[in-house]
Amino acid sequence: MKSRGLLIALIVIGVIAVFAIGLFLWGMGVYNSFVKLDEGVSSAWGQVESQYQRRADLIPNLVETVKGYAAQEKSVLIGVTEARAKVSQITVTKDVVNDPEAFSKFQAAQDQFSSAISRLLAVAENYPNLKSNENFLALQTQLEGTENRITVERQRYNLAVQDFNTRIRTVPASFIAGLGGFREKQYFKSKEGSENAPAVKF
């Protein structure tokens, strides 16, 4: 009778041990998948930053080229320079994707920079000699290419964030996410008012 009770106890302990080991291995696998997804977001974020930096590096040359032809457009040139300076002043770490306020500031500064660049390119339309300048054309082409790359990298980043955010919010993995300190990442959003079609006047 005693041996039978001991056998049952051993079986119960064995089942509990197998369950505990299985639970631990499952938790470890889920945690590792979060780490992989988190690294995917960080990698995508790095590509976004790289393209923004490329754009910031192109602007001084573009401003100098325009300055030679359109010196009277001082306010536009100063606006671009100031917007670039604001972007450069923001300290960006990979933690910005976890902080809605910091992410919002980063995106607002980049949007302001984009607007300033658009004004600069609009000014160039008023100067036929500038539009035909080889340096200006080369810089404009590089800038357009960079803007396209930024759009692509932002889309890739948003997809990586979607995968990550979806994974950490699903049950039961959300419990491991909470224990592991994994928090929701921020998405790039369209500029406010971009849902409205621009007014065209003739």
CATH of the domain at 53: 1.20.1440.20
Instruction: Tell me, yes or no, whether 194 lies in a domain.
Output: no
Average pLDDT, the chain: 85
Asked whether 51 and 149 are in contact (CB, 8 A), the reply is yes
Joined tokens for residue 154: 């932002």
The answer to the question of residue 191 being in a domain is: no
What is the signed CA dihedral for 118, 95, 177, 170, rounded to 10 degrees? Answer: 0
| pLDDT of 197 above 60 | no
Q: Does residue 128 lie in a domain region?
A: yes
Higher-confidence residue: 30 or 125? 30
Q: Is residue 58 part of a domain?
A: yes
Per the structure, the complete domain to which residue 122 belongs is given by: 2-180
Per the structure, how many domains does the chain have?
Answer: 1
User: Is 49 within a domain?
Assistant: yes
Assigned domain for 129 exists:
yes
- Tell me what pLDDT residue 193 has: 53
Q: pLDDT confidence of 158, banded at 50, 70, 90?
A: very high
Residue 199 inside a domain? The answer is no
What is the helix, strand, coil percentage profile of the chain, to 5? 80, 0, 20
Tokens linked to 118: 């658009």
> How far apart, in whole angstroms, are the C-alpha atoms of residue 156 and residue 189?
13
Most confident of 29-38, 55-64, 113-122: 29-38
- What mean pLDDT is predicted for residues 28-49? 92
pLDDT tier for residue 89 given thresholds of 50, 70 and 90:
confident
Predicted confidence (pLDDT) at residue 199 exceeds the cutoff of 70:
no
Global pTM exceeds 0.85:
no
